[in-house]
Chain A
Amino acid sequence: MEIVIETPNSPRKRKGANWEKYGWMYMRISGAVLIVLIFGHLIVNLWDKGVGAIDFAFVAGKWTNPFWQVWDVLMLWLALIHGTNGMRTITNDYAEKEWVRKTLNITLWVVCGALIILGTLVATTFDPCIDPNAVNYLPTVCK
């Protein structure tokens, strides 16, 4: 039997630019950073007095410190993009129709973008002393 290699050395047809390499790198780097951020978050919030100690005053008190604002915003951005990109990968695997795939992917990124904008807005414009009449429920800095 004759073996035919069709047009050897001809460049393979490419379908536009692709960001898969950067997506792959992002997943690894954000994953490593998120392990530190999430476990740091869990330890700081839960280690001492458990979940019962988390109330408005606790969260508001944390967000009076720019360090925790940056920490939480970073966690928000990294985790949402990490999770959305993971979901995109699954969609690309399992959506057989092109329009279904596109619709799901666009929906994913719109939701991700909206959550990032809302979350960032809350964390950066937050007023810890929201109601001067309810001093007992506010962090100590408001008293």
Chain B
Amino acid sequence: MSAEATTPVIAEVPSFAVTLMVRRYNPEVDSEPKWQDYDLTMYGTDRVLDALHKIKWEVDGSLSFRRSCAHGVCGSDAMRINGRNRLACKTLIKDLDLSQPIYVEPIKGLEVEKDLIVDMNPFYQAYRDIKPFLIASDKPEKERIQSAADRERFDDTTKCILCAACTTSCPVFWTDGQYFGPAAIVNAHRFIFDSRDEAAEVRLDILNDKEGVWRCRTTFNCTEACPRGIQVTRAIAEVKQAVLRGRA
């Protein structure tokens, strides 16, 4: 049998032209961030992250952005795409409006370090402040047993990947950087409603702060931004109710 006979005919993958407007900022050269446009040929299976890779690898190696797993799990590449916070690795280019350029900028409310990279420290500080670890006094021989129903109680908030899409979509966080922000409250919720944890009151007391849950204005930006589909505003509301009760 000849090689030609066994080779199946593969049709060319359809491609399309797309313009990417990227918010660029180099602190060593620029005084202000500026938009820069890139004309690219992309395919139906490409995501915004692939477009950024194409720019970095083939057009301009100085473009800086964070990414790690590239599959929506690590939460590194949250950015503002066409005005909405999304993960670049979970946003297919073909799903965006291609009649106009695609605008890519860093997430808002945190200081831009370079191009699409922001200083995540204030975000992580709020996360640390709510004690994101199990606090339990018992020392069981084996694992701590939990019923399926008790596990279900906080299942939604275990999905958080700390990408900061929610916190940096929150208008209160934009103007008041001291606010704990949705992500910290979501992660507090994960432990407050965990039947194995014993420090719910401690965390509720922390979130009863001036910059705590009462800052939330229920605009639902966070719920809309979450790439994991967590009902963030609902979780915040449940924490508010728990603060009022004084227990989980």
Contacts and interface: CB of A to CB of B under 8 A. Distances in A.
Nearest to A14: B209
Contacts of A14: 209
B172 interface: yes
Among B175, B240, B244, find the residue whose CB has the most chain A CB atoms closer than 10 A: B175
A89 B128 CA distance: 26
A18 B208 contact: yes
A118 interface: no
A18 B207 CA distance: 12
Interface stretch (A5-13, A32-40, A134-142): A5-13
B131 A9 contact: yes
Contacts of B153: none
Contacts of A143: none
A21 interface: yes
Contacts of B38: none
Contacts of A18: 208-210
Contact of B175 (A9, A12, A21, A94): A94
Contacts of B181: none
Nearest to B208: A21
Nearest to B130: A12
Contacts of A15: 210
Contacts of B128: 5-6
A14 B206 CA distance: 9
B170 to A, nearest CB: 11
The 8 closest A-B pairs by CB, nearest first: A20-B214, A93-B175, A18-B210, A24-B214, A12-B206, A93-B176, A94-B175, A20-B210
Interface of A: 5-6, 8-9, 12, 14-15, 18, 20-21, 23-25, 89, 92-94
